[in-house]
Amino acid sequence: MYEIIEGFLEAARLIVTFDPDVMAIAARSIIISFTATIIATLIAVPLGAAINFGTFPGKKNLVNLIQTLYSLPTVIVGLLIFLLISRVGPFGFLRLLFTPTAMIVAQTVLILPIMTGLTISALSGVDPVIRDTLRSLGATRLQFLVNVLKEARFAILASVAVGFGRAISEVGAAILVGGNIAASSFASSTRVLTTAISLETSMGNISQSIALGIVLLIIALGVNLAITTVQHR
Amino acid sequence: MIEFDNVSKNFGDTRVLTGVTGEVNRGEIFTVIGPSGAGKSTLLRLIDLLDVPAGGAIRINGLDIHADKEKSLSVRRMMGMVFQKPAVFNTTVTENVAVGLRFRGVSKSETRKLTEDALAMVGLAGYGERRARTLSGGEMQRVALARAMVIEPEILLLDEPTANLDPVSVAMIEDLVVRINRDLGTTVIFSTHDMYQGQRLAHRIGVLMDGAFAQVGTPREVFTLPASREVARFVGIENIVEGVVVEREDGTAVVDAGGVRVRARSPFPRGERVSLCIRSEEIRIAPAIRGRRVSDGNILPGTVTAVVPRGPFSRVTVDCGFPLSSVLSWKAAEDLDIREGGRVEVVFAAESVHAVRQG
């Protein structure tokens, strides 16, 4: 018990004094997950829109498949990307294994289904009367699409928040394709909050783990606060 | 201007429109009235190209609007539509009204002026920067009207726009529709299940029943000379009596209704089975006086079976062999000492009886 309290106090000190190690790991986490979220958004929103507005055979099954992939285990994604980019894999020549880029790719793949699915939900959640109103006002096909997206913007923003949350909090893929490397340079290190927590805990550095855990929660809280503020504006 | 040529529409196995035929003239307010589920919304959606008919054609200025997909956008841009459910875009009032103008590439300064004018027209000047979602249902519907009118449509389609609104907002919307039609000459098609609203607004009414127009005519025609028993029932004629024409002379007929003879204006020959439609306002109730006779009217003795209050009036039902209802003020009912079980005479003119052939 004493150790845990001690751990919290030390964690508070690490955070308040902006401990360089903790801050570097936090910054790396944010950069990697944020980049993955941006890339996933750029794919998920057009893809979700295409699926929502399109009519094609098997649409329902496709949506079901996407929803099933919401709960894609992170280690499975990690394993898949690992196989693809390992030396013997088809993309081995890119030498991406154990780089931040590999982690971005893995996190993008991980959050793509949930962001696509939530985009589809967001768009299909737009009131049919709003859709009819847009058409009746003489919207072209493109004007119609843009304006339905605009109406769904807050729900889509929520899907972005969910994607970022899943990306920054996952550990399985980050360990497998990142390797939790603390290299000499910031850019080539792959140690992020979750992998660091896992390592420090196993090494008995409880206070470090708690500090990193609190930082992770603060980031998640910050993102959600920002989104809620925008939605209520 | 708008012609309906045997327009039909199914949703799955449900036939919503079975063959709508009729015409809407340029510059008129045409109300489509009918019970819920009669196909009113479907008809308006077909006009606005939001749905495609299963059969028949809708022509605007002679052009079959569903025939040529290439022309869809330009046809639709001739029209504005307001829907039953107040729906606004999640942005400011000004932005809501400006949407149609942006679609048409109208310049910013022009858009600002036109949206301000449109908001002033619907009595929402000064509301421009408010978030549209924070408005009341009536205000949202006025935003919807401004949004539809700012693009200066030739045809304004209103699909039961006041169905969910409070009476003050209903009156406001009705007043706006009349002004828009009068001042701008916009052709208006207004659907409603409220027959009195249809009557208040319309130059002409189409009564849509079971997927087709049961009658098209002026409000007076529809309300006093309904084309069928069903239309009569819908436009609030409470007394509908079945009978057979037994005598005819000079446009007047004597109809036998279960042994009681009723004189009616009727063009139908002897032996024709008819429904007699008599508005309760046309029926007087008098104390029974023996031996009273009239040459051209109807005096039917009967027994009061019910006196039911209705606002400031009483609805009195008399059994004359068949039930007939009339509406009296409370004072009149008291003065005449009308009470259940009392003997009275029911008096109405032959002109007040409108006969329709039984379908």
Q: Would you call A138 and B151 a contact, using CB atoms and an 8 Å cutoff?
A: yes
Q: Which residues pair with B17 in a beta bridge?
A: B9
Indicate whether B40 and B126 sit together in one domain. Answer: yes
| Backbone Cα Rg of chain B | 25
Tokens of B194: 């409220």
Chain A residues whose beta carbon lies within 8 Å of the beta carbon of residue B151: 137-138
Q: What is the pLDDT of residue A29?
A: 95
In this model, does residue B275 exceed pLDDT 70? yes
Chain A residues whose beta carbon lies within 8 Å of the beta carbon of residue B75: none
Indicate whether B44 and B118 sit together in one domain. Answer: yes
Split at pLDDT 50, 70, 90, the class of B267 is confident
* CB B325 within 8 Å of CB B235: no
Q: What is the pLDDT of residue B294?
A: 59
Q: Would you call A129 and B87 a contact, using CB atoms and an 8 Å cutoff?
A: yes
Q: Would you call A135 and B100 a contact, using CB atoms and an 8 Å cutoff?
A: no
Tell me the shortest Cα–Cα distance from B157 to chain A, in angstroms.
10
Tell me the shortest Cα–Cα distance from B102 to chain A, in angstroms.
9
The shortest CB-CB distance from A139 to any of B103, B144, B148 is to B103
Q: Which one of A130, A133, A156 makes the best mutation probe of the B interface by having the most chain B beta carbons within 10 Å?
A: A133
Q: Does A230 touch chain B (CB under 8 A)?
A: no
Q: Does A95 touch chain B (CB under 8 A)?
A: no
Spatial neighbors of B123 by CB under 8 A, at least 6 apart, are B142, B172
Q: What is the pLDDT of residue B291?
A: 62
Q: Which one of A127, A130, A132, A137 makes the best mutation probe of the B interface by having the most chain B beta carbons within 10 Å?
A: A137
Q: Would you call B83 and A129 a contact, using CB atoms and an 8 Å cutoff?
A: yes
Split at pLDDT 50, 70, 90, the class of B293 is low
The sheet carrying B79-82 orders its strands as: B79-82, B155-159, B187-192, B29-33, B204-209, B212-217
Q: Smallest Cα–Cα separation from B226: which of B261, B248, B195, B254?
A: B195
Q: Which residues pair with B324 in a beta bridge?
A: B318
Domain boundary (B232, B261, B289) is at: B232
Q: What is the mean pLDDT of chain B?
A: 91
Indicate whether B198 and B219 sit together in one domain. Answer: yes
Q: Say which CATH superfamily domain A2-116+154-232 falls into.
A: MetI-like (1.10.3720.10)
Domain boundary (B212, B232, B252) is at: B232
Indicate whether B223 and B100 sit together in one domain. Answer: yes
Q: What is the pLDDT of residues B250-262, one digit of tens each?
A: 778 899 998 899 9
The shortest CB-CB distance from B73 to any of A130, A133, A138 is to A138
Distance CA(B333)–CA(B315), nearest Å, equals 9
In this model, does residue A7 exceed pLDDT 70? yes
Tell me the shortest Cα–Cα distance from A40 to chain B, in angstroms.
26
Q: Would you call B104 and A138 a contact, using CB atoms and an 8 Å cutoff?
A: yes
Residues A158-186, mean pLDDT to the nearest whole number: 91
Total Cβ atoms within 10 A of residue B26: 12
| Interface ipTM | 0.84
Indicate whether B200 and B310 sit together in one domain. Answer: no
Q: What is the pLDDT of residues B4-54, one digit of tens each?
A: 999 999 998 899 999 999 999 999 999 999 988 889 999 999 999 999 999
Tell me the count of A-B CB pairs closer than 8 A: 55
Q: What is the pLDDT of residues B140-170, one digit of tens each?
A: 999 999 999 999 999 999 999 998 888 988 9
Q: Would you call A137 and B79 a contact, using CB atoms and an 8 Å cutoff?
A: no
In this model, does residue B292 exceed pLDDT 70? no
* CB B326 within 8 Å of CB B278: no
Tell me the shortest Cα–Cα distance from A129 to chain B, in angstroms.
6
Domain boundary (B216, B232, B248) is at: B232
The shortest CB-CB distance from A130 to any of B77, B89, B100 is to B89
Q: What is the pLDDT of residue A5?
A: 87
Indicate whether B225 and B263 sit together in one domain. Answer: no
Distance CA(B143)–CA(A212), nearest Å, equals 52
Indicate whether B57 and B197 sit together in one domain. Answer: yes
**Residue B176 belongs to domain with CATH number:** 3.40.50.300
Q: What is the pLDDT of residues B295-354, one digit of tens each?
A: 568 999 999 999 998 888 889 999 999 999 999 888 888 888 888 888 899 999 988 999
Q: What is the pLDDT of residue B310?
A: 84
In this model, does residue A63 exceed pLDDT 80? yes
Tokens of B235: 């436009």
Q: What is the pLDDT of residue B269?
A: 87
Q: What is the pLDDT of residues A8-58, one digit of tens each?
A: 888 888 889 998 988 999 999 999 999 999 999 999 999 999 999 999 999
Q: What is the pLDDT of residue B290?
A: 64
What residue in A sits closest to B148 (Cα-Cα)?
Answer: A137
What residue in A sits closest to B97 (Cα-Cα)?
Answer: A137
Distance CA(A173)–CA(A160), nearest Å, equals 19
Q: Would you call A154 and B90 a contact, using CB atoms and an 8 Å cutoff?
A: yes
Domain ranges, ordered by start, for chain A: 2-116+154-232
Cα angle, residue A27 at apex, residues A25 and A32 outer, rounded to 5°: 95
Indicate whether B139 and B256 sit together in one domain. Answer: no
Residues 140-179, chain A, touching B (beta carbon < 8 A): 140, 143, 147, 150-151, 154
Indicate whether B173 and B301 sit together in one domain. Answer: no
Q: Would you call B50 and A151 a contact, using CB atoms and an 8 Å cutoff?
A: no
Name the DSSP class of A175.
I
Indicate whether B227 and B254 sit together in one domain. Answer: no
What residue in A sits closest to B149 (Cα-Cα)?
Answer: A137
Q: Could you give the 3-state DSSP secondary structure of residue A150?
A: helix
Tell me the shortest Cα–Cα distance from B59 to chain A, in angstroms.
18
Spatial neighbors of B125 by CB under 8 A, at least 6 apart, are B116, B119
The shortest CB-CB distance from B76 to any of A138, A143, A147 is to A138
**A7: Cα separation from own chain's centroid:** 29
Total Cβ atoms within 10 A of residue B349: 17
Residues A115-131, mean pLDDT to the nearest whole number: 95
In this model, does residue A70 exceed pLDDT 80? yes
Q: Smallest Cα–Cα separation from B78: which of B89, B65, B88?
A: B65
**Model-level pTM?**
0.83
Q: Would you call B151 and A147 a contact, using CB atoms and an 8 Å cutoff?
A: no
Residues A150-166, mean pLDDT to the nearest whole number: 93
State how many domains chain B has. 2
Total Cβ atoms within 10 A of residue A177: 30
Q: Which domain holds residue B251?
A: 237-357
Tell me the shortest Cα–Cα distance from A231 to chain B, in angstroms.
11
Distance CA(B104)–CA(A115), nearest Å, equals 33
Indicate whether B32 and B137 sit together in one domain. Answer: yes
Indicate whether B224 and B242 sit together in one domain. Answer: no
Chain B residues whose C-beta is within 8 A of a chain A C-beta are 45, 48-50, 73, 76-77, 79-81, 83, 85, 87, 89-90, 99-100, 102-104, 144, 147-148, 151, 157
Q: Could you give the 3-state DSSP secondary structure of residue B11?
A: strand
Residues B279-293, mean pLDDT to the nearest whole number: 80
What percent of chain A clears pLDDT 90, i.e. is strictly above it?
74
Tell me the shortest Cα–Cα distance from A48 to chain B, in angstroms.
21
Q: Would you call B90 and A132 a contact, using CB atoms and an 8 Å cutoff?
A: no
Q: What is the pLDDT of residues B75-104, one digit of tens each?
A: 999 999 999 999 999 999 999 999 999 999
What residue in B sits closest to A233 (Cα-Cα)?
Answer: B131
Distance, first Cα to last Cα, chain A: 44
Residues A210-231, mean pLDDT to the nearest whole number: 88
